[in-house]
Structure 1
Amino acid sequence: MRISMLLLMIALLYFTSHAQQWTKEQYTKDFDYFLNTIKEDYCYWDKKQTDWEKVKAIYIPALDTITAKGGFVLLMEKLFYELYDHHASLNTNTAASQRLVPSGTDLWAEYINGKPVITEVRRDFGAYKAGLKAGMELHAFNDVPIEQAIQPFLGKSLKTVTPEAKSYALRVLLAGTHLGNRKVSVKDKGMLYDFYPDQPVNLLEEHRYEGNLAVRSYGDIGYLKINNSLGDNNVIVSFDSALNSLMHTRALIVDLRETPSGGNTTVARAILGRFITKEMFYQKHELTAEQRQYGVKRSWVEIVSPRAALYSKPLIVLVDHWTGSVGEGIAIGFDALQRATVMGTKMAGLNGANYSYTMPNTGIGFSFPVEKIFHVNGRPREDFLPKVLVKLSDNHATNDVILEMALQQLKKP
């Protein structure tokens, strides 16, 4: 703990001496702009315990201590903790910032019956390689008991501290900072164990994909995995080429389990369009700010159109907690189109569609959900569950049980 505090002090000193500086008045104006923008446009107030009116009073005294951009960034990150929303974040960070969830973490955890439990481990990243498993109960993080360690990430304005808010804080904690390595202590079958997921290499900082897609075959079953590239329109050409090479297969698996950073709907519609024969609705949007301001509800349903050569054979779409945002939109789209069986764990559950804003003085960008997104059946996207829901346990530590289940299902006559 002392080492972590020392590293944080070093980082703050660095930003104090090297970063561009603004006046207190400029920081205050950006602070107010941030608060007002979220108050007016954030679309999930109806399910939050946040008292946004108290946030300013809680944090404005800290503005007196800000002397450089790095310190201001760390302060604004604390304001986002009040929303306990993994889809809301700054578009910049410092070395002392927590990594983003889900893109910057390899552990998914929740409070279950009051206990902090690992529910999924990201395959091929540090936590997985270190031996952490679903089902383990978290005991401490960097030698600090979990209940104490999550406190900095729990909102201070909450009317009630819900299990959702605590689970959010737990996941932010487990992601760690860009600056330091993690020690994760767990209870498993009555014993305490320590794990070091960032040794010998911090894969959350150093991981590189071999390409934007992975393509292979399992006999006559095709497999196409998207490697966190749903925001790159160039992946459309890559996807078409890969799918064209698999047209001869008798069934296909599309793997969305490594799409935590989201993307854009151009790529989403391009992918969905290869599997349908006519225009269809694939997701519903709702803009709540207009209703709050004028009392008039605004909502619409988005259409996907067929394109290029049709792949008409059986299809399974794989998802897990690292299927985020647009990846989640593709999954609910396939389900709405009744074109694929969605299989896996619950997804990241990221709220809605983000809009981006820029603070007028410091130029710091930030994003948060402004549109609610729904399945065409009216169910919120963040609540969607796969048709084949897979429950993971420590028995699945090395096997890719989700992929194995998909292959078994497709191999049936």
Structure 2
Amino acid sequence: MPALFRLLCLLLGLLLGLLAPAGALRAQPAQLTPAQYQQDFDYFWTTVHENYCYFDKKQTDWARVRQLYAAQLSGINSRAQFVRLLENALNELYDNHANLSTNLPDSRRLLPSGTDVWAGFQQGRAVVVAVRAGFGAERVGVRPGMEIVAVDDVPIEKALRPLLGRSLKAVDEAAREVALNQALAGTHNAPRKLTVRTQHRRRDLYPDKPTAQLEHIRYAGLLASRQLGTLGYIRLHNSLGDNRLIAAFDSALNTLGATTGLILDLRETPGGGNTTVARALMGRFITREQPYQRHEQPAEERRFGVRRSWVELVAPRGATYSRPLVVLVGRWTSSMGEGITVGLESMQRATIVGSEMARLNGSILSFRLPNSSFGFNIPTERLYRVDGLPREQFVPAQHLISGSSGEGDAALEKAVQVLKGGGK
């Protein structure tokens, strides 16, 4: 009887194994050894050292980064601790286009996709320059021009200190601006309190109450489209990385084919995208193959002394929309959204209306650590407008002060004015 019972248990176990979801019985990753953490850190540091293409713009001493963070490895005994160590090491680059492929509950939100307010320093004061339409900061009354006095009751200068790299040879304005906006973005698990000064009064504002919208971003679809009188309007919903957008965009554009002009709104594209989708969209507005951006890969020149650069082309695709085109951009137009913008302008196919964009550096490449279960992304290619202007330095010809004011949509009104012939 015991033998029969053991046999029945064995058969039951096999049956349950067959019925279990794929991966459910897979063993959890074993805790890494100190040698494995060291190997992963060495791979991370060397990969950034050999491939990151913007060291010349930074005050970062990358050799010092190795000393500072390798010294902490002896105290690492969990995945969470190692993630935090690499987050801090990568933050030494103060580059919003460099990040890990994972995060912790108390990790800082990514810029610009994880924030709803953007600020810069003006005459020594931290001043709001843009507010993301439809999110918590706008809802509670944060507006451009307000001074940020404190974050979570910590005076702004003090709030910046832990976010500034420890390896910096000097703290430049770029590092201060990144740290400022990291402080404003907050962490994934803690509601923010922003103390602002406006009209000589201090106000406490709570962008994440009653709910943290930045943790639960939902869109009604890949895009929205409509007619504004005789004009067409298409707004992308952070979908430039979704290949399904190609068909959705084609359908919307075909429906608006008889309009006298088109507004392409890229102000909510903070998550980047891919060049397949970008070229597909741009291809609908041209009649011949044209270049839209220049690439440069410094790693090859550093290693072999041979410069590598090339121009990427866009080919016409489908029925051409040949009427005038205006592209709307802002601080939450990032990466591939920025590429489409400078591409359409380079091809003399669109008028660009709006403020400075996210100004993300270059094109990123993803790398995976040999032992840990996550990777990291860094810019490895510099990107330029066809005429050689670095993409991150682009400013729209129709430059407007960043929104949102909470009172109408000045950029959209300007776009309509341009298309109707009333704006230069």
- Is residue 408 of structure 1 aligned with residue 408 of structure 2? no
Matched, 1:296 2:303: no
Q: Deviations over 1:82-127 (max 9, x none)?
A: 0000000001101011010001000111122222111100000000
Residue 65 of structure 1: aligned partner:
75
Q: Confirm or deny that 1:227 pairs with 2:227.
A: no
Alignment-mate amino acid for residue 172 of structure 1: Q
Cα distance, 1:358 vs structure 2: 0.2
Q: 1:110 to 1:315 in 2, by over 3 A?
A: same
| Corresponding position: 1:364 with 2:374 | yes
- Residues 317 and 20 from structure 1, CA distance in 2 versus in 1: closer, same or farther, beyond 3 angstroms? farther
Distance in 2 between the 1:145 and 1:19 partners? 42
1:243 equivalent to 2:253? Answer yes
Query: How far apart are the structure 2 equivalents of 1:350 and 1:393?
Result: 19
Q: Distance in 2 between matches of 1:169 and 1:376?
A: 31
Q: Which residue of 1 aligns with 2:118?
A: 108
In the alignment, what sits opposite 2:194? 184
Q: How does 1:160-199 map to 2 (within 5 A)?
A: 160-199=170-209
- 1:70 positional shift: 1.1
What SS does the corresponding residue of 2:221 show, helix, strand or coil?
Answer: coil
Find the residue that maps to 2:126 and give its secondary structure.
strand
CA contact (8 A) 1:354 1:371 kept: yes
Could you tell me which residue of structure 1 aligns to residue 335 of structure 2?
325
1:398 partnered with 2:407: yes
CA distance in 2, matches of 1:404, 1:207: 26
Give ranges in structure 1 of 5+ residues lacking alignment: 1-17
Q: Secondary structure at the match of 1:208?
A: coil
Match of 2:10 in 1: none
Are 1:159 and 2:169 counterparts? yes
- Give the corresponding residue for 1:126: 136
The residue number in structure 2 matching 1:316 is 326
Superimposed CA distance per residue, residues 311-370 of structure 1 (whole angstroms, 9 cap, x where no aligned partner): 000110000010000000000001000000011000000000000000001132100100
1:142 correspondence with 2:170: no
Helix, strand or coil at the partner of 2:219: coil
Q: For each residue in 1:204-256, what CA deviation from the matched residue of structure 2 results, as whole angstroms up to 9, or x when unmatched?
A: 01220000001111111100011111111111010101100000111100000
Matched with 1:381 is 391
Q: Give 1:23 deviation, angstroms.
A: 1.4
SS at match of 2:72: helix
> Using the alignment, how far apart are the partners of 1:312 and 1:144 within structure 2?
53
TM-score normalized with structure 2 length = 0.91
How do 1:42-53 and structure 2 match up within 5 A? 42-53=52-63
Once the two structures are overlaid, the 10-residue window that deviates more, 187-196 or 274-283, is 187-196
Q: Are 1:263 and 2:285 counterparts?
A: no
CA deviation profile, 1:166-220 (whole Å, cap 9, x unmatched): 0001111111111110000011122111100001111101220000001111111
Q: Comparing 354-363 with 186-195, which one deviates more in the overlay? A: 186-195
The 2-side partners of 1:171 and 1:212 are apart by: 27
CA contact (8 A) 2:330 2:402 kept: no
Distance 1:173 1:157 in 2: 19
Matches of 2:360 and 2:373, distance apart in 1:
26
In the TM superposition, residue 378 of structure 1 has moved relative to its aligned partner by: 0.3
Distance in structure 2 (CA, Å) of the matches to 1:393 and 1:220:
26
Cα distance in 2 for partners of 1:20, 1:322 equals: 40
Larger radius of gyration: 2
4+ residue runs over 3 A deviation: none
Of the three residues 310, 315, 331, the one matched with 1:305 is: 315
Q: Distance in 1 between the 2:421 and 2:319 partners? A: 26
Please give the alpha-carbon distance, in whole angstroms, between the structure 2 residues aligned to 1:325 and 1:236: 18
Which stretches in structure 2 are left out of the alignment for 5+ residues?
1-27
The root-mean-square deviation of aligned C-alpha atoms, in Å, is 1.3
Aligned length: 395
Cα distance in 2, alignment partners of residues 97 and 409 from structure 1:
42
Query: Percent same amino acid at aligned positions?
Result: 51
Shift of 1:59: 1.7
1:32 paired residue number: 42
The answer to whether the 8 Å contact 2:331/2:402 transfers is no
- 1:249-292 deviation line (CA, Å, top 9, x unaligned): 11100000011111110011000000001000100000000000
1:252 counterpart residue number? 262
Residues of 1 paired with 2:141 and 2:189: CA distance? Answer: 23
Q: Structure 2 CA distance, aligned partners of 1:373 and 1:410?
A: 29
- Normalising by structure 1, we get a TM-score of 0.94
**Equivalent pair of 2:355/2:399 in contact (CA under 8 Å):** yes
Distance in 1 between the 2:320 and 2:200 partners? 53
Q: Which residue is 1:9 aligned to? A: none
